[in-house]
Amino acid sequence: MIMWRRLLISAWLGFALAGLFFYPLAVALGSESFYLQWQPRDSVEMAVAWMVLAMLLGIAVFHLWGRSTRAAAAALLAISVVPLASFASGFARQLPFDDLLRGVWESRAVAIGVPAGVMLLAGSVFVRSPLSFSRWLRRLLIVLSPVSLVVLAALITSSSGRSTVTAMTRPAPAPVSGETGCAPMLALLFDELSFSYLYDADGKIRREFPAIEALANAAVNYTSAEAPSGETLVSLPALLAARHVRDIRVEDDRLLELTEDGRLVAFNATDGNGLFGTARRLGFTTEMAGYYLPYCELLGDLVDRCQSLSFYNVSTAGDGFSPANAALTTLVLWPRQFPFGVFKNLAFGPLQRDLVEDTAEFALRPMTAAPPLFRFVHFSVPHLPFVFGPDGYDPPFDPLRTSPDTEYVRQLQYVDRLVGDAVGALRRSGLYESSTVVLLSDHGFRFGGREQRRLQIPFIAKMPHQDTRIDMASPVRGEILLKRVLEQSCGLKS
């Protein structure tokens, strides 16, 4: 009878500890599923990962529960600390002062001092009275164990929800009769690409970015272009809609726009006057790839080929079925501040690498001249994590550290390489001279010491057959300018 009781306790606590670990993912599934671009396959991966983790933890608890030794207490703490830390990180995100807490935690003294104090206190109690420490730890685990039922409910709800469209290819469009008069257009948007870091005081591209410098020297440089917003969540919808967007909210897995009169209405990226509506009307074949937002669903029938990736869900950039995706996604959802960032880096760095590789592969696919192709690609770099150097993937020890800005500059040099690769691919296809190539950003670097105006963005447009630099200093909004350049690729004046 005692053995069965011990077995049931071990199975329950193994299940509960695994549930505590997945708590941040459950929180995201409940309030931020829009950003995860969750698929039914993801729910199955999470269920399998939970089952495997619960079994392993249950076996460990079975061998440790009830043992009154210092080694058993230390081992129980060792298997509990990561699930408890994961639960704490997920719970902190639900607090009404979450933003304030993260701001305070930016202080190195707080980020190091608080964890050190907790460890010192726990270590002192353990050394002085290991049996009492073990007893209170077991009580804590039992008290928190019902949290696993909340996680289970989130998993069940997510598995019965609708699947987000993350990739789509329509049949090749019918040939267009006659010439459209439009040149192929490739628009490359790099997240948090800073004007102040890219240009020097004389308005020239800095020498450490030779590929962008070469592009800018034979293009129109809009030196007073302004981002639609200081947030990606607002900037990208505004660019797609090709108009001013006051604010964007995410509620109930929907993208909502805040109107001037304070109403929340469904955001619409498929309007005929929007970016892709205009491209379709002008006779373009359209393509879109990027991360962060579900572009395939937002654009609907206006896009012929599409790929959307999540900045948080590892499975969107992965290949095949893997229960490890759920565990890695949970780590990605941890805070970037120390000590959580140490574990977050294990998953976040490789995810950044996969996101960039997938979007770069999409960007470098051959362009077509007839019918003309409009391709818009949203890259996740140079936004953190800063895992790229000039020659490729080369993560530092702390790729989430924003100060000093050395790692951001290193990643900018990799952006330069991506631009060079895109230009090189166009040259090899023979379409570079006759194409429009646009380089732009959603906003500046949020943490940069050189940043002067976060809303001032680089906007470089190489028009068909252009070979000299032109500087345009007149203020212009990026969401209006991108559509204007698209129309100019068809010889239209706007």
162-209 residue pLDDT tens: 777 778 788 766 555 445 689 999 999 999 999 999 999 999 999 999
Which residues fall within 8 angstroms of residue 306, CB to CB, at 6 or more apart?
Answer: 165, 167, 168, 169, 287, 288, 289, 295, 296, 299
Pairing verdict, β 373-382 and 285-291: parallel
Residues 388 and 414: their CA atoms lie apart, in Å, by 6
Q: Indicate the SS3 state at residue 388.
A: strand
Is the C-alpha dihedral spanning 219, 185, 415, 193 positive or negative?
Answer: positive
Long-range CB contacts (< 8 A, 24+ apart) of 309-313?
Answer: 309/37, 309/166, 309/355, 309/358, 309/359, 309/380, 310/35, 310/36, 310/37, 311/35, 311/351, 311/355, 311/380, 312/28, 312/32, 312/35, 312/36, 313/35, 313/36, 313/37, 313/38, 313/42
Exposure string (b/e) for 393-421, b if CB count within 10 Å is 16 or more? Answer: eebbeebbbbeebebbbbbbbbbbbbbbe
Instruction: Name the nearest CA neighbour of 246 among 236, 265, 260, 225.
Output: 260
- Report whether 45 contacts 321 (CB < 8 A): yes
- Report whether 410 contacts 221 (CB < 8 A): no
Residues 223 and 37: their CA atoms lie apart, in Å, by 36
Tell me the domains of the chain and their CATH numbers: 2-159 (no CATH), 167-488 (3.40.720.10)
DSSP state of 222: E
| Per-residue pLDDT at 178 | 44
Exposure string (b/e) for 242-258, b if CB count within 10 Å is 16 or more? Answer: bbebeebebeebebbbb
- Report whether 290 contacts 359 (CB < 8 A): yes
Alpha helices by DSSP H, listed for 203-294, are: 210-216, 232-241, 275-281
Query: How is the beta sheet containing 264-266 ordered, strand by strand?
Result: 247-251, 254-258, 264-266
| Per-residue pLDDT at 396 | 92
| Per-residue pLDDT at 177 | 45
- Report whether 28 contacts 304 (CB < 8 A): no
Residues 387 and 344: their CA atoms lie apart, in Å, by 13
Composition of the chain by helix, strand, coil, percent to 5: 50, 15, 35
| Per-residue pLDDT at 9 | 84
What's the Cα-to-Cα distance from 357 to each of 157, 255, 440, rounded to whole Å?
32, 27, 19
Q: Which amino acid is at 87?
A: F
Residues 173 and 24: their CA atoms lie apart, in Å, by 43
Q: Which residues does the chain have with pLDDT short of 50?
A: 1, 177-178
Q: Cβ-count burial of 467 within 10 angstroms (0-12 exposed, 13-18 middle, 19+ buried)?
A: exposed
- Report whether 239 contacts 482 (CB < 8 A): yes
